[in-house]
Amino acid sequence: MRWHNTAWRRRIQAALLTAVAVTTVGPVAQATAAARPAPLIAATDRPVRFTADGSTAYGTVHIPAHRAGYRLAAALLIPGSGLTDRDGDEPPAFTPHTLALFAGTLGDDGVMSLRFDKYGTGNTGWGRYRNSDHIDMAAYTRQAVAAYDALRAQPEADPNALLIVGHSEGGLQALLVDRAVRQKPAGLALIAPQDTRLLDAVDYQLAGQLDQAVAVDQLSAGQAALNKAGVRRAIAEFRAHHQVGTSGLLPSIASFLNALFGPHNAVFVRSDDASYPPDIARGIAHGTRGLVTCGTADANVPCRTTPPLLAALASARTTGPGLRVLPGLDHLLHPAGSPVNERTLAPAARRALHDFVRPWRQLTAS
């Protein structure tokens, strides 16, 4: 209905204004209270434990400063190969603190994280496996899946903003966890990731060391060629389930291969070598935000090996920063030639992580 009488309109407006003046004292006060920022909760680390295959694993949840009641993007941090603990260390000799530094870098952007002692390390120990003889890649994947579920269950975690950040072998493990979980992560950061079959990586890493020995006149070109052929032969024998022969190889290489293919490692090595990361990457959900880094001084995962993985991620239609080449950085994200135990991340590596979490960045004013 339209009002044509101006006087009636003025009377009705006056009545409405009077009613508002009488009744809005309470709501205005409530709105003012609601506009006040929620209390600030200081950053903290808290212990966490979870169970996988009947074994208890232990870790740390890092929660950055945030406003009470806010849900935070949450990243599972997965370590590299070997007996690497929640901080990315193999104490006492190897303590670069890589994963702890990841947690701090992500925390600067308001992203919480969970890192854990995988089997054989820290407070977790071997659990039901007692030692490394019978543990395979699938057991580590199940443990990481349980960690992912524990992260999702944290009261501060946003279940729609779950991320996985894996370093080195942890990059492959991140892909395996993505494949295994029902609620897919929103993003995957593969930092200097294992991007090919394990024994293919061993082959080119040893070849690189032999070439370096030739370059500094520690070895002749003929000796290097002989050892390269011997390594390839040993790998082929292991893959064919034949007896592995290492006679005639340099003692250091023979010792390494005998340990790698020996009873304490054979089960795991065979299970890891069965995984080809690009094949797994093709199954990532479309639209997943992705980051892959490679350091130009990384002898473990050189940039020249990444194209198949990058092509697989492209075919899966991932989004995000994609490839970030880190000039002059080694496998531990240090400038080439830095001490192994230097507890820093190079600025380029930090920028790559900041770019990855940009959609979930949450800066909290004091």
Domain assignment of residue 241, given as a range: 198-270
Q: Is residue 31 within 8 Å of 120, Cβ to Cβ?
A: no
117 and 231 housed in the same domain = no
101 is a domain residue = yes
Tokens at residue 246, please? 């290492």
Give me the pLDDT at residue 277, please.
98
102 and 230 housed in the same domain = no
User: Which of 270, 301, 316 is at the close of a domain?
Assistant: 270
Question: 184-236: per-residue pLDDT in tens?
Answer: 999 999 999 999 999 999 999 999 999 999 999 999 999 999 999 999 999 99
pTM for the model stands at 0.88
1 is a domain residue = no
| Average pLDDT of the residues of the chain | 91
Give the mean pLDDT of 351-363: 93
45 and 188 housed in the same domain = yes
3-state secondary structure of 116: strand
66 and 173 housed in the same domain = yes
> Tokens 């006679």 map to which residue?
247
Give me the pLDDT at residue 18, please.
37
Rg (CA), the chain: 27
Residue 177 pLDDT greater than 50, yes or no: yes
Number of structural domains (the chain) is 2
Least reliable range by pLDDT among 35-44, 60-69, 279-288: 35-44
63 and 133 housed in the same domain = yes
Give me the pLDDT at residue 5, please.
40
209 and 102 housed in the same domain = no
DSSP state of 125: B
CA gap 178, 170 in Å, rounded: 12
Give me the pLDDT at residue 227, please.
98
Question: 118-155: per-residue pLDDT in tens?
Answer: 999 999 999 999 888 999 999 999 999 999 999 999 99
Q: What is the CATH number of the domain that holds 99?
A: 3.40.50.1820
Phi-psi region of 253 (alpha: psi -120 to 50; beta: other; left: phi over 0): alpha
Give the mean pLDDT of 44-57: 97
Question: 238-270: per-residue pLDDT in tens?
Answer: 999 999 999 999 999 999 999 999 999 999 999
Give me the pLDDT at residue 38, please.
83
Give me the pLDDT at residue 20, please.
35
Residue 65 pLDDT greater than 50, yes or no: yes
182 and 106 housed in the same domain = yes
Nearest to 332 by CA among 173, 192, 122, 226: 192
16 is a domain residue = no
Question: 16-49: per-residue pLDDT in tens?
Answer: 333 333 333 344 444 444 567 788 999 999 999 9
User: Which of 234, 249, 270 is at the close of a domain?
Assistant: 270
Q: Binning pLDDT at 50, 70 and 90, where does residue 363 land?
A: low
User: Which of 270, 287, 319 is at the close of a domain?
Assistant: 270
Strand partners, 366: none
27 is a domain residue = no
18 is a domain residue = no
Give me the pLDDT at residue 19, please.
37
6 is a domain residue = no
